[in-house]
Amino acid sequence: MKNNRLTNSDLAKLRMAAERIRLLASLEQASFSVDEKKDAEIKEEIRPYMMWFTNIACNIDRLLDGQEVDYLYFR
């Protein structure tokens, strides 16, 4: 029977993935239009949707820290 526990390497990879998700959801390095005004408008329009990804990253961190997670955010 296979051991289902995560190794320290697995935990570190999950933490890095959560941080990468958080970075991408922040839209800091995203560009959707050459026109700066249009780019800002697009970012504002999709920002609420990016919060879902931020919540997922936070839930990953909470799980790794042994805290309870509201699993509704994973649906």
**So what's the pLDDT on residue 3?**
62
Give pLDDT tens digits for 37-63. 999 999 999 999 999 899 889 999 998
**So what's the pLDDT on residue 25?**
93
Taking residue 4's Cβ as centre, other Cβ atoms within 10 Å add up to 5
What's the mean pLDDT in 22-51?
93
Q: Would you list the domain boundaries of the chain?
A: 49-75
Angle (deg, nearest 10), helices 8-25 and 36-64: 150
**So what's the pLDDT on residue 44?**
94
